[in-house]
Structure 1
Amino acid sequence: MSDNNGLNISRRRALAGIGAIGVASAGAGVGTSAYFSDEESFNGNSLTAGELDLKVDWEEHYNFPQIYGFDDPTDGLDVHRSEPESSDEYVAMPDPSDPMVWVHEDDLVDYMSNTSIEAFPDTDNDGEQEVEGSNFSNGEFFDPCKDGADLPDDLERDSTGIGRTDNGDTNNGDGGNNPLVSLDDVKPGDFGELTLSYHLCDNPGYVWIIGDHSYSEGEWPELANKIQTVWWYDDGDNVFTGNNCDEKLYLADHYQGQRDPTLYEVTINNGNAVTSELTSISKDKFAGTHIGTSPDGGTVYMVAEGEDELAVYDYDSDSLTFEPIDVGDYSLGQITQAAVDTDGTLWIGSTSDYLFEIPDPENPVVTNRLDVDINISGADNVFASNGQFYLYTDAGNMLHAVDLLSGNTMEVAELETGEDLTGLTIRDTGSGSLLGSVTGGTELIEFDLSGTELDRYSLSGDLTDHGFGDMATGTLCERQIRRSTLADDLNALQGGGLQLDDLGLEECFMPGFTRYIGFAWWLPTDVGNEVQGDSIEFDIGFYTEQCRHNDSPTGPSSPDT
């Protein structure tokens, strides 16, 4: 249970769903349909079939919302159509490798708000998604298995409840509903983005993106060949930051007050975990420390184990500063873990089984306390680049997924080696396998989401024996699924679909997780009159198939599905 006191909860913490979309036209609307199985039950007897239920929520953006009666999204903001001379502080959109605009990072939140044209759930009908409110089934926050969209029924507009936005984008003018992406006046330089939050309820399932169209090879409207696309595993902010990132790993070490807490950078190389000392803190000041890093990996936040204090290490300047933590009415107790989410919020856990939320670690103020439903006294936690929060406990050597709305946890896997871990991180910039430091040991162990050991690395360099402490992922990078044209996308999706995976490791998705698929499209500025009057009609959606007793799923191309 959360002590949130009315604070806003970011979209990425909403539980999620799965659904169907359509994309762009330069003269006509676009069709849409959904493909998935739902509930079957045998009631009144002794058997009830388990559910394999898919739910969805979404938020869509368009760079020219004026066509639907919105204001100019760039008014008062630092937005450029050509690359600024100093672009380090700008976000290139919609695809960093082929941007249409550059938005200053300080204006990104406002720009995304201004370009949001529809969402589900949209309780105040402003085109942006809301996940808190009394309209939801539990009277507090969005529960996807109860409130999430089932398609196509929930494509209906709803301006007063918890459904879809009702505006010029969603209303076809005749009282009917438009597809999720329905553009009838696409111009060169236009772009849009849609992020779907998808959620499996009740049982594990394999998941595919699928599509259908009626065009023969070589007969695509020219618009479909000219529209560029990129798909990625999003972290919930609707912005593709690219996947050209270098791995950066950190490890903090201390030993029951017998040696100074020390921060190391870790490089995996030829079976070794090579450690390089970065900084240390006197054991008289910090008896121990647990760490989380900013999403870009440039700042490490070192939380004192027994004090309400935070040490901030800046990697580029090799500097260390100290900040007191304003705990308000809370008591942190004995800190056991720390991690930073993809928003930059610091979460610290204590032996009291609470997670404390610090939205701005540079100005550390505790704004919320979450009561976790398991013992986390011997544990570490980590965020994946897709926003999923994992927590490892020595009790049962179990990896858990945590819902940051309710504090509820779900067992993911037991580490097959049965070892206690004092630190946990995720490789490949937050999208790969898990890596843990063995308590009181000399090795790091790499394992997957089933708990299977993949590799071991001997500590070498400045640290060769690890007592207690923490690990953290540096740079978090979203993982690209594919980049192509709309025509190639639809051909690929019709031909058996595109199977999704979890952290690049498991194709079977556990229920109860929050997951996001981002999709961006754009019409390059050098496209000419050859696309005038073109329109595209197609279906695109998702398919799931049970995992249990099904080691070789047939997928959506099977005639039985």
Structure 2
Amino acid sequence: MTDETNHTDTSIAGLSRRKLLGGLGAIGVASAGAGLGTTAFFSDEESFQDNTLTAGEFDLKMDYRMTYRGGHGRLAELQANYPDATFVDEDMEPTDEDTGVYLLDQVPGLENYPGAGDWVRGANGIFDPESEEGEGFRREELIDAGDLEEALIRIGDVKPGDYGEVTFSTHLYDNPGYMWIGGALTANDQNGYTGPEEVALEEMGITVDDPDGEGQLADAIEAKIWYDDNCDNIHQESGGEDGGNVDVMLSIDTSGSMGGGSGSRMENAKAAALTFLDNLGSDDRVGLVTFDSAGQLRQGLTSDHSLVAAFLQPGPAGITSGGFTMMDAGVDLAADELTANDRGVDQAIILLGDGQPNRSARPGSNHTQNAIQAAQDAKNAGITVITVGLGVTGFAQNTLIQMASGSNGTTLYYDSPTGNDLDDIYSQIAAVVLTGEAVIVEGTLREVMDALAEGIPLDANLSEEERTCFTNSVTRCFGFEWELPTTVGNEVQTDSVEFAIGFAAEQCRHNDGEANPYAGA
């Protein structure tokens, strides 16, 4: 690739762009039966082309998990389309009980990652192909959406009240990139009429003289796409309990391995924590703990965020590194501060570490287990523990994963291989505990697809004013959900809809992110 060429020019855009284009599916092909039942078959109809990679310098792949809430007794029927489908419990973990909630499919496969928690670890973690270490997915395990042989969503007999969700996580390889999401409603068919359907349509003032025309299903289904910042298949609409305030303790590793000077892990960690403070509301409280050869409460919980910011200034004006890694103290001091000053709001510890614990404040010499137990004690006290691994692999990474809170099949662990992407990671964490996960588009299925038709630019860091490139070292998750409301009646019988959703990416290098690859597609 050359520096002289304008890579937004469509004639050579293929050199720097990778489109991931996969149809999510189609709802509908109903039986002729009466009643409220609408059947659904989700089938793929590719709506975009040019799915080729012309240069090896840039690649975008994905994994996904897909769940469906469709009522009891459906497993055998669903397994006709999804042989490995299984029941899942309220935490999205496989269960033998008929819960009416199903884990339909995931990539990498269910055989390799049988548990929801394992899937999230893989999605959030980083696998190092050189050392063969790390909890992340391997590149060869992932998929190009354009390579899907059939639609992801293929479900029969969908009824009012049914709900489905797909969480995609995207992986950029080789270079950072700008990303877009696009889509289209490719079919919305009436497929004839049943008697009850005719009655319902006539009561709505809709003529029934066009059995081959448009149906009503695309306008009946409600849909949403959002930044699923904790990859848990659920949209967190606001931070804090019932959208209220939160108390957060930052716990930062200041051991010698964090280094010093411009570009060091220490400086990156301080800069990202400062950005996090900017997301706090005026009534949110924050405090700071550091840990090296000992733990130290630098600042107790306060609504004066500048008091914490004073410790996060660049260079020796802020906290500096040196010593060992007493991680259990980093948790216990933060938990003690939260517990002693509990005001009945959500509480969280955000712990950043760059290595394995090698000192303990707790009794005994099993430093790793002491850190894990300290985190467990905090979780038992109702505190959410979020961990960030800075350049860690192997045992150190596993320790931080075990320390992190988990719910609904997710693990609140975030992996930062270099530290250069900490701003983006802290922005994701802010969405989980403070602001809520941002919606990309929502409305009826028709409205959502109309909005996607021209492509919507995605942003790696919503807390920044300027659009930010997605790094090639951090996984990002996006959620898509659909629901057929219980208020829908016989007017959607026999109807079917088909739609496609895809991701596109363009290298940040030589590009400004202004050339929308979906515009005019």
TM-score by length of 1: 0.51
Amino acid at match of 2:109: D
Which stretch has the larger CA shift, 229-238 or 61-70?
A: 61-70
**Structure-1 separation of matches of 2:299 and 2:476:** 25
Q: Secondary structure at the match of 1:357?
A: helix
How far 1:529 moved relative to its partner?
Answer: 0.2
CA contact (8 A) 2:160 2:488 kept: yes
CA contact (8 A) 2:236 2:436 kept: yes
**Structure-1 separation of matches of 2:508 and 2:114:** 36
Paired positions, count: 365
Q: Specify the alignment match of 2:27 in structure 1.
A: 25
Superposed, 1:131-280 pairs within 5 Å as: 143-153=137-147, 155-156=148-149, 178-214=150-186, 220-234=214-228, 235-243=230-238, 245-246=243-244, 248=246, 250=248
Q: Secondary structure at the match of 2:178?
A: strand
Q: Deviations over 1:208-261 (max 9, x none)?
A: 11113445999752111010112111111112232364564646799x9xxxxx
Q: Deviations over 1:362-413 (max 9, x none)?
A: 9xxxxxxxxxxxxxxxxxxxxxx99684xxxxxxxxxxx61xxxxx436349
Does the C-alpha gap of structure 1 residues 343 and 222 become closer, same or farther in structure 2, counting only changes over 3 Å? farther
How far 1:512 moved relative to its partner?
Answer: 2.0
How far 1:551 moved relative to its partner?
Answer: 1.9
**Structure-2 separation of matches of 1:147 and 1:329:** 34
Q: Secondary structure at the match of 1:488?
A: helix
**Structure-1 separation of matches of 2:281 and 2:68:** 47
Q: Deviations over 1:127-146 (max 9, x none)?
A: 8666599xx98598654533
How far 1:359 moved relative to its partner?
Answer: 3.1
Q: Secondary structure at the match of 1:508?
A: coil
**Structure-2 separation of matches of 1:139 and 1:253:** 26
Does the C-alpha gap of structure 1 residues 187 and 113 become closer, same or farther in structure 2, counting only changes over 3 Å? closer
Q: Specify the alignment match of 1:359 in structure 2.
A: 402
Unaligned runs of 5+ in 1: 1-16, 41-48, 78-102, 157-177, 257-265, 294-303, 334-338, 363-384, 390-400, 403-407, 416-423, 432-472
More helix by share: 2
CA contact (8 A) 2:427 2:461 kept: no
Does the C-alpha gap of structure 1 residues 386 and 511 become closer, same or farther in structure 2, counting only changes over 3 Å? farther
Q: Deviations over 1:111-159 (max 9, x none)?
A: 89952011111151898666599xx985986545332112343x35xxx
**Structure-2 separation of matches of 1:267 and 1:558:** 34
CA contact (8 A) 1:236 1:516 kept: yes
TM-score by length of 2: 0.54
Q: How much is the aligned-residue C-alpha RMSD, in angstroms?
A: 5.6
Pick from 284, 288, 292 the counterpart of residue 296 of structure 2: 288
Q: Deviations over 1:56-94 (max 9, x none)?
A: 1111001127434179999997xxxxxxxxxxxxxxxxx
More strand by share: 1
Superposed, 1:490-509 pairs within 5 Å as: 490-494=449-453, 496-504=454-462, 505=464, 506-509=467-470
How far 1:289 moved relative to its partner?
Answer: 3.7
CA contact (8 A) 2:246 2:285 kept: no
Pick from 38, 42, 64 the counterpart of residue 58 of structure 1: 64
CA contact (8 A) 1:211 1:497 kept: yes
Superposed, 1:270-419 pairs within 5 Å as: 288-289=296-297, 308-309=328-329, 310-311=332-333, 312-313=335-336, 315=338, 318=341, 324=362, 328=366, 330=368, 344=385, 346=387, 356-357=399-400, 359=402, 389=414, 402=416, 408-409=417-418, 411-412=420-421
How far 1:476 moved relative to its partner?
Answer: 6.7
Bigger relative contact order, structure 1 or 2, given CA contacts below 8 A and separation 6+? 2
How far 1:542 moved relative to its partner?
Answer: 1.4
Q: Secondary structure at the match of 1:509?
A: coil
**Structure-2 separation of matches of 1:543 and 1:128:** 29
Does the C-alpha gap of structure 1 residues 317 and 530 become closer, same or farther in structure 2, counting only changes over 3 Å? farther
CA contact (8 A) 1:246 1:429 kept: no
How far 1:110 moved relative to its partner?
Answer: 5.8
Does the C-alpha gap of structure 1 residues 199 and 279 become closer, same or farther in structure 2, counting only changes over 3 Å? closer
Q: Give % identity.
A: 25
Q: Secondary structure at the match of 1:146?
A: helix
Does the C-alpha gap of structure 1 residues 53 and 290 become closer, same or farther in structure 2, counting only changes over 3 Å? farther
**Structure-2 separation of matches of 1:253 and 1:54:** 33
* 1:117 partnered with 2:104: yes
Q: Specify the alignment match of 1:548 in structure 2.
A: 509
How far 1:39 moved relative to its partner?
Answer: 3.4
CA contact (8 A) 2:187 2:498 kept: no
Amino acid at match of 1:430: A
